[in-house]
Structure 1
Amino acid sequence: MASCSKDADSLFNDTADLVFTNGNIYTVNTDTPWVQSVGIKDGRIVALGSDAETAKWVGPQTKTVNLHGKLAMPSFGDAHVHPIFGGLSFAQCSLHNGRSVDAYIAIIKKCLAETPGDDLLFGRGWGPGYFPPDGVPHKNILDALAPDRPVVIQSTGGHSYWVNSKALALANITKDTPDPAKGRIDRDPVTGEAVGGLQETAKDIIQPFIPAPTDVEMQNAILYTVKLFNSLGITNWYDAGIDDIKPDGESATLDAYTEVKAQGKLTTHVSIALKWDNDKSLDQIPTLYAVAKRAGAAGFSANGIKLYTDGVIVQRTAAVLEPYVDTKDDLGELSIPVQELNDIVTKLDHDGFQVYVHSIGDRAVHETLNAFERARSVNGSNDNRHFIAHLNLVAPADQPRFSTLNVAANFQPLWASDDPYMRLTAERLGPERMQYIYPANSILQAGGRLVYGADWSVASADPLLGIEVALTRKPTDRPEAKALLAHEGVTLAQAIKAYTLDVAFITHREDETGSLEIGKSADLIVIDQNLFIIPVNDISDSKVILTLFKGQTVYGSLSGL
């Protein structure tokens, strides 16, 4: 095994800054999957091989670190994350750690006590699965806690608001208020009164009353996410859609990223998707392109445009091919009409942009694949690397099309197990369609590409939790549970690749990061257990103990190994 290549010798003709020895180092490079040692200089990998092969890179100033057999590997990526939304969520009234309605009540009480006054209390993080049968919480719970103060709390996924009577009054939402297009005010079936749930675009009615975050708050949200993600071994993320783009092309989100980067604190590769506004036409394209150009000038990749084609299954806002089983004819609704979707995708594809699509129901997935197929027939093949996120329900006939159309499948592996939300999903879809829930392995075996992302803060950002569930299809805290379609589990090597090299691929960085290879950025992690030899149910108990980004320690310490 060669410890360096000819290119490496010409680029790095001196001793290394840092050499790890005596390790079990998994490279995610199929040609040389395992090595014992890695050498790093000027933030890049200059040597890979056995301890003897990398020894020539050790000089008087080289720091040598004995891994004592520990597992090292490329740092993780995350192809679907909401860094500012997530960071703000944990800085506000956060319900994310609640696991019952009673827990939510205790958290909200504490938030109210800590922020006295009559200003609107805004929070995030309730899970629809804790509010059967329809995933809609009632205003009465909040009214009992805050009868005289408006309270608005966003769901984990961001598709719903839970509001109290005071907030409904503030926004002048009554039984006579019509549902907005592509949105719903949840109502009492007898009286027609609003019960406290606002779905999709109905959230916009109350949005003007929710204070916007300040510039500093947004910067702090990014910094929070950087620190958290580095501690979990993540150094490459794809922001799943900035939505504050103004007609003049200004974006407070992009400004916040730029400022954090200027401070030298953005210790991760960042790609940014620009959110498509479904209420606007193709006329918004010049503005989006201008923002992408400005982001590129600031050192970010912003070549992706994020489309939303539907909502979520439990609230019946996801677009499905057959009616929800607890209704006669409810198919949900496409957020973008079919012809318009075709035109958007074809135009963006023609212009060289990556199309990044939220599609949850099987009809949304089907029509999105149709749009990609049409774009390909018009524009021909290219390297835009389009992908679809979530894919909760994918019809069998559509599963092979990911490979055929060269469209990547962006799954959130932690979602693919039995939990309260999944049980409500089963009530909406029925047993037959539950056979096509998160068909990760089926798409993979048909030749498709898997790209993992947590959708944080909807779910934990920890890739080690996601890897275990990707393999077992069981909750990490209930290994005795029945697997959710066990045949859709993937192998450990496949899951790691979907969290590393395939994220690098989808962010057009596979030549820079995602695997340990000569000349690539020294983005790597050390884990306290060897994932390849421990029982699969112990993967979620493993911890990242060191994270390097461009050769610099951003979490843990070299002396701690």
Structure 2
Amino acid sequence: MSQTADLIIRNARVLTMDETAPKAEAVAIVGNRILAVGGNDEVMALAGGSTRVIDAKSATVMPGFNEAHMHIFMGSLSLVQLNLHAVHGFEAMKSAILDYAANNPDEPVLLAYSADYGILGELGPTTRHHLDAILPDRPFMMYAPDHHTAWANTAALKLADLLHGRDVGIGNEVVMGEDGLATGELRETNAITPVARLASTGGREGLGIATGGDPENLTPEQRAVDRAILKRGLEYCASEGLTSLQNFDGNLYQLELMADLEAAGELPVRIRIPFHMKNFMDLSMLNKAAQWKKRFASDMVRGDFVKVFMDGVIDSQTAYMLDGYGDRPDYDCEPLFTAEAFDAVATKADSLGLQVAVHAIGSAAVRQTLDGYEAAIKANGKRDSRHRIEHIEIIHPDDIPRFKELGVVASMQPVHVPGGSCFPLEPTVTRLGEDRWKYAYAWRTLKDAGARMVFATDWPISPVSPFECIQNALTRKPWRKGDPDQRMTLQESLYAYTAEGAWVEFMEDRKGKLKPGFLADIVVLSQDIEAAAPDRVADVRPRITICDGRITHEAP
């Protein structure tokens, strides 16, 4: 006797991501699994009296999106912070900041995000003096879109004891002015955190990046606030069609909050959270990561990989480069790990069966990471490790074939490309140097060289919408005539956001595709995405999101 479906989606243009049966008309679900995928008539034969039937109205139905690189706590908090994206000029910035301050009278430190590096235009780089002219009496700090640079006013610098500078470690900087006082520009986490932790959340949203550690002396009330912030952020992700999140800062606190939400039946998306290996940690700390992998191993919450930062970003010149910067050829910056230290981390983590994922933006950082993965292979033998490099915004041509040779995954964010929908060309393209443009944000180049590739947004660095990200992958234009065409196809982009995302998590046997027996992670779109013009893909919306067989979002 055949099973009766709990839910059927019919009249759909189903994209299964299953190469053996790539398209269908209907999908049936029972419990948290896919019961059947096929034609309307054969699937409707599984309907019973209590089966809910959804008419897709010829829109696309596909596996739920897998966001392969994001920061859930910071992203969730950004939903209530001041968003300065697309704000340009002093007067516009002033108006936005003053309105936000008036609406948040009790916030001890006002925080904004996505402030462009050139937000003040002809006034030049932002300083504390510009911010003081807007808000002299209340501590205020705004993050650059990449969250690797922030600008604070004098009140915030004084409160955090940064006005007279401070040693904040390799690759981090409190930028100082000719007057011997801080300019207000703070580069990288160690410089930014002293201000962030004075805000109402105590900076807990950044602990997974700053220290990898957990909050101390936490009250039940503070934990309840954090849980509510995260729950709201997770629900927002579900509303964008996401069914899986791969978080890229980690601590035990976040994992335990996610496990608590799972136990309460309140977790609307699957999530994996890493152990964040910092350069001040002893190698023995990786044993803790191995323990997390065993403890958090459900299909909803997993703590099964290691995150490492190798460098910063191009715009603030904290990325580790080969042969300097375009506008500063004698300066390479320094990596956050020495080659010897990272080789040891990669080798130890690999020996414990842990996947490693490294933030590496500069060409030297990418090379040093590849070298570390090669050292792990030499020490431990080759295995199906699926180690990753995150971002890869500039690569030396000699390192392109090494991704396929070493089996390293390229984790990339098309929405980050300068001149795309989110970020301006400058200062990035000048700092890269024109002679290196052909090897910048080189998705197609890496893909054609045999690299396995996943896509993501790095939320809140850019909006979490997969559709905007995909549109950038489809429509990118070269910065000059003769540069490589880095555009991806729609099918490649959707695959990178679904099946390939499941593969990089070692879950390709049960999610990322619509096929019988797989987990019921499905998104019903507002239209046929294959019929959308490439420059209109961002207009596509999720109509219904289903995770683990439960409807987690349904548009009005």
TM-score (norm 1): 0.89
Greater shift in the superposed pair: 333-342 or 210-219: 210-219
Give deviations 1:22-58, integer Å, cap 9, x for gaps: 2211111111111112221112111111123324323
Residue pairs, 1:214-253, within 5 angstroms: 214-242=222-250, 245=251, 251-253=252-254
Matches within 5 A, 1:27-46: 27-46=16-35
1:127 is displaced (CA, Å) by 2.8
Aligned to 2:547: 549
Return the alpha-carbon distance in structure 2 between the equivalents of residues 240 and 172 of structure 1: 29
Residue 369 of structure 2 is matched in structure 1 by: 368
Q: Could you tell me which amino acid in structure 2 is paired with residue 73 of structure 1?
A: M
Partners of 1:27 and 1:35 within 8 A in 2:
yes
* CA distance, structure 2, for counterparts of residue 25 and residue 98 of structure 1: 39
Mapping of residues 401-420 of structure 1, within 5 Å: 401-418=402-419
Q: Is the 8 A contact 2:7 2:30 kept in 1?
A: yes
State the shift of 1:540 in Å. 1.3
> Which residue identity does 2:524 align to in structure 1?
V
Structure 1 residues 548 and 110: alpha-carbon distance in aligned structure 2, compared to 1, 3 A threshold: same
Q: Is the 8 A contact 1:79 1:453 kept in 2?
A: yes
1:539 aligns with 2:537: yes
Q: Please say which of residues 501-510 and 176-185 is displaced more in the overlay.
A: 176-185
Aligned to 2:212: none
1:104-144 Cα distance to aligned partner (Å, 9 max, x none): 32222122222336933334332324367999521112111
Alignment of 1:50-65 (within 5 A): 50-65=39-54
- Higher mean C-alpha displacement, 39-48 vs 55-64: 55-64
Q: Name the structure 1 match of 2:153.
A: 164
Task: Kindly report which structure 2 residues correspond to 1:90-169, keeping only aligned pairs within 5 A, or say none.
Answer: 90-96=79-85, 98=87, 101-116=90-105, 119-130=108-119, 136-169=125-158
> By how many angstroms is 1:304 displaced?
0.8
The corresponding residue for 1:518 is 516
Superposition map of 1:412-491 within 5 A: 412-418=413-419, 421-473=424-476, 487-491=485-489
Equivalent residue, structure 1, for 2:218 = none
SS in 1 for 2:247: strand
Residue 81 of structure 1: aligned partner: 70
C-alpha distance after superposition, 1:155-185 (max 9, x if no partner): 3322222111122223333456456332112
Following superposition, the deviation at residue 290 of structure 1 comes to: 3.6
For the structure 1 residues 526 and 120, does the alpha-carbon distance in structure 2 shift closer, same or farther, using more than 3 Å as the test?
A: closer
Instruction: Return the offset for 1:199.
Output: 0.8
Question: Given residue 492 of structure 1, which amino acid in structure 2 is its aligned partner?
Answer: L
SS in 1 for 2:21: coil
TM-score (norm 2): 0.90
Report whether the alignment pairs 1:181 with 2:176.
no
Query: For each residue in 1:488-530, what CA deviation from the matched residue of structure 2 results, as whole angstroms up to 9, or x when unmatched?
Result: 1111100000000111111222122111011011211111221
Q: Is the 8 A contact 1:453 1:499 kept in 2?
A: yes
3-state SS, counterpart of residue 65 of structure 1: strand
Distance in 2 between residues matched to 1:328 and 1:21, nearest whole Å = 59
Partners of 1:23 and 1:174 in 2: how far apart? 60
Q: Measure, in 2, the Cα distance between the counterparts of 1:83 and 1:483.
A: 39
Give the structure 1 partner of residue 399 of structure 2. 398
Q: Return the letter of the residue paired with 1:267.
A: P
1:5 is aligned to none
Instruction: Describe the shift of the 1:364–1:110 C-alpha distance in structure 2 as closer, same or farther (beyond 3 A).
Output: same
**Map of 1:332 onto structure 2:** 333
Counterpart of 1:505 in structure 2 is 503
1:29/1:515 contact within 8 Å kept: yes
Moved more, 434-443 or 17-26: 17-26
Q: Deviations over 1:445-493 (max 9, x none)?
A: 1111110111001101111111111111159xxxxx9899561111110
Cα distance change, pair 441–241 in 1 and its aligned pair in 2 (3 A): same
Measured after TM superposition, the shift of residue 373 of structure 1 is: 1.0
Greater mean alpha carbon deviation, residues 511-520 or residues 379-388: 379-388
Deviation at 1:381, TM superposition (A): 1.8
User: Quick one: which amino acid aligns to residue 350 of structure 2?
Assistant: D
1:275 aligns with 276
Query: 1:352 aligns to what SS in structure 2?
Result: coil
3-state DSSP of counterpart to 1:296? coil
Distance (whole Å) between structure 2 residues aligned to residue 99 and residue 483 of structure 1: 29
- How far apart, in 1, do the equivalents of 2:86 and 2:460 lie? 11
* Alpha-carbon distance change, 320 to 544 in structure 1, aligned in 2, over 3 angstroms: same
SS at match of 2:243: strand
CA contact (8 A) 1:526 1:545 kept: yes
Query: Hey, what does 1:494 align to over in structure 2?
Result: 492
Q: Deviations over 1:422-464 (max 9, x none)?
A: 3211111211111111111111111111101110011011111
CA contact (8 A) 1:417 1:483 kept: no
Instruction: Return the alpha-carbon distance in structure 1 between the equivalents of residues 149 and 109 of structure 2.
Output: 17
Segment drifting more, 522-531 vs 297-306: 297-306
Ranges of 4+ aligned residues in structure 1 off by more than 6 Å: 132-135, 481-484
* Structure 1 position 551, deviation (Å): 2.4
User: 2:409 and 2:333 mapped to 1: Cα distance?
Assistant: 24
Please list every run of 5 or more consecutive structure 2 residues that lacks an aligned counterpart in the other structure.
Answer: 205-221
The question of whether the paired residues in 2 share the 8 Å contact of 1:80 and 1:238 is answered with yes
- Residue 69 of structure 1 pairs with residue 58 of structure 2: yes
CA pair 101-228 structure 1, distance change in 2 beyond 3 A: farther
**Which runs of no fewer than 5 residues in structure 1 stay unpaired?**
1-8, 246-250, 476-480
Corresponding residue SS for 2:314: coil
Partners of 2:160 and 2:195 within 8 A in 1: yes
What is the CA deviation profile of residues 9-29 of structure 1, one whole-angstrom value per residue up to 9, with x for unaligned ones? Answer: 8xxx32222222222111111
Could you tell me which amino acid in structure 2 is paired with residue 228 of structure 1? Y
Distance 1:456 1:445 in 2: 27
Secondary structure class of the residue paired with 2:45: helix
Q: How well do the aligned residues superpose, as a CA RMSD in angstroms?
A: 2.6
Q: Distance in 2 between matches of 1:348 and 1:339?
A: 14
**Residue in structure 2 matched with residue 22 of structure 1 by the alignment:** 11
In 1, Cα distance between the equivalents of 2:487 and 2:123? 29
Give the direction of change, closer, same or farther, for the CA distance of 1:363–1:150 in structure 2 (3 Å limit): same
- Seen in structure 2, the aligned counterparts of structure 1 residues 119 and 76 have a Cα distance that, compared at 3 Å, is closer
1:196 paired residue number:
184
Q: Is the 8 A contact 1:474 1:484 kept in 2?
A: no
Separation in 2, partners of 1:406, 1:346: 15
Paired letter, 2:242:
I
Paired residue type of 2:543? I
Q: Do the aligned residues in 1 keep the contact of 2:270 with 2:299 (CA within 8 Å)?
A: no
Indicate if the aligned counterparts of 1:38 and 1:47 stay in contact, CA closer than 8 A: yes
| Paired-residue identity, % | 28
CA distance 1:256–1:403, shift in 2 (3 Å): same
Q: Secondary structure of the equivalent of 1:130?
A: coil
Rounded Cα–Cα distance in structure 1 between residues aligned with 2:46 and 2:238: 28
- Corresponding residue for 1:527? 525
Relative to structure 1, the CA distance from residue 39 to residue 288 in structure 2 (aligned partners, 3 Å threshold; closer, same or farther) is closer
Deviates more, 1:130-139 or 1:224-233: 130-139
Q: Which SS does the other structure have where 1:487 is aligned?
A: coil
